[in-house]
Amino acid sequence: MSDKIRFVVGIMGNAASLLLYAAPMLTFTRVIKKGSTEEFSSIPYVIALFNCLLYTWYGLPVVSNQWENVPVFTINGVGILLEISFIIIYLWYAVPYQKKMTLLMVVPVVLLFTLTALVSRFILYDHPHRKVLVGSIGLVASMSMYSSPLVAVRQVIKTKSVEYMPFCLSFFSFAASTLWLFYGLLGQDLFLAVL
**Which of 8-22, 27-41, 134-148 ranks highest by mean pLDDT?**
8-22
DSSP state of 182: H
188's torsion region: left (phi>0), alpha (psi -120 to 50) or beta? left
Residue 1 has pLDDT above 90, yes or no: no
| CA atoms lying within 13 Å on the CB side of residue 159 | 13
Identify the domain containing residue 129 by its residue range: 1-194
First and final CA of the chain: distance in angstroms? 23
- What are the backbone dihedrals phi and psi of residue 189, each rounded to the nearest 5 degrees, phi first? -120, 100
The predicted structure's pLDDT at residue 165: 65
The predicted structure's pLDDT at residue 167: 72
Task: Tell me the C-alpha distance between 143 and 47, whole Å.
Answer: 10
**Of the candidates 171, 188, 182, the residue with the CA atom closest to the CA atom of residue 135:** 188
Rounded to the nearest integer, the mean pLDDT of the chain is: 89
Residue 86 exposed, middle or buried by CB count within 10 Å (0-12, 13-18, 19+): buried
What value does the mean pLDDT take over residues 70-95?
96
- The count of structural domains within the chain is 1
Residue 144 has pLDDT above 90, yes or no: no
